[in-house]
Amino acid sequence: MSAEPSDPAIIGEVLAGKTESFAALVRRYQNRVYSLGLRFFRNAEDASDFAQEVFIKVFEGLCGFRGEAKFSTWLMKVAYYHGISIQRSRKEAESFAEDYELPGREEGPEELHARAAAAAALTEALRLLPERYRICIDLYFSFGMTYEDVSRVTDIPVGTVKSHVFRAKQALRRALKDSCAEDYDYGL
């Protein structure tokens, strides 16, 4: 049983003319790009179109990938800027926040209602954050990116990313204090 080839190995194959190898990168990262599309556009059809457009852009620009960052970071940067570009062209001011899954407790009807109310409170608190904070905290927590990766994706200096995440966490704690969401642990 052989291990799957690494991103650099696949990229090398694609650049050497074996373009069908690009499908392995699509399979590996399609859920991540689609999830980002859902955060931008809030519906499956637009998110699917977005993911397809991103992978076309990445395929066409693959020769420009220099390997200074991980491929996944470069891919998310392309996706992020493509999403921003689409939003600007549509002149939409949709929220970047998503309905977050909350840690489960006992699953009775009361708990399900409480979790739904807490998720709504968190979503609203995220929606009210300044966009620069919301994007940094979303990439950091939802995608598990490091501060350095968030910096590479957004072109925001690492120190500023750390500051934005810290300030977003403080603002969320304040917004959720004395609400139905206060009892949940979000990692804040």
pLDDT in tens, 118-164: 777 777 888 788 888 888 888 888 778 899 989 988 889 999 999 99
Cα torsion angle, 87, 88, 94, 95, sign: positive
**pLDDT value, residue 97:** 40
Average pLDDT, the chain: 82
The domain boundary, picked from 35, 60, 90, lies at 90
Asked whether residue 141 falls in the same domain as residue 170, the answer is: yes
Helix-strand-coil percent breakdown of the chain, rounded to 5? 70, 0, 30
What pLDDT shows up at residue 111?
67
Q: What local confidence, expressed as pLDDT, does residue 23 receive?
A: 95
Same domain, 115 and 166: yes
Whether residues 12 and 77 fall in one domain: yes
The secondary structure of residue 179, as a DSSP letter, is: S
Task: Provide the domain limits for residue 152.
Answer: 109-176
Q: Are residues 25 and 80 in the same domain?
A: yes
Residues 172 and 119 placed together within one structural domain of the fold: yes
Domain-ending residue, one of 40, 55, 90? 90
Please count the CA atoms within 13 angstroms of the CA of 89 that sit on its side-chain side: 7
Share of the chain above pLDDT 90, in %: 39
Could you tell me if 78 and 118 lie in one domain? Answer: no
Q: Does residue 85 share a domain with residue 15?
A: yes
Segment 76-104 mean pLDDT: 65
184 in any annotated domain? no
Same domain, 19 and 65: yes
Residue 95: inside a domain, yes or no?
no
Do the domain assignments include residue 102? no
Given 57, 90, 123, which residue is the final one in a domain?
90
Question: Confidence class of residue 7 from pLDDT cuts 50, 70 and 90?
Answer: very high
Average pLDDT of the residues in 171-181: 79
Residue 12 lies in a domain: yes
Confidence of residue 95 (pLDDT cuts 50, 70, 90): very low
Number of domains present in the structure of the chain: 2
Q: Is 91 helix (H, G, I), strand (E, B) or coil?
A: coil
The pLDDT value recorded for residue 92 is: 37
Q: Cα-atom radius of gyration of the chain, to the nearest Å?
A: 19
How many CB atoms are located within 10 Å of the residue 117 CB?
A: 13
- pTM over the 0.85 mark: no
Average pLDDT in the 22-37 region? 94
Same domain assignment for residues 86 and 12: yes
End-to-end CA distance of the chain: 41
CATH of the domain at 76: 1.10.1740.10
In a shared domain, residues 117 and 76: no
Do 64 and 128 reside in the same domain of the chain? Answer: no
pLDDT digits (tens, 9 = 90+) for 46-79: 999 999 999 999 999 998 888 888 999 999 999 9
Query: pLDDT band at residue 96, thresholds of 50, 70 and 90?
Result: very low
Residues 70, 40 share a domain:
yes
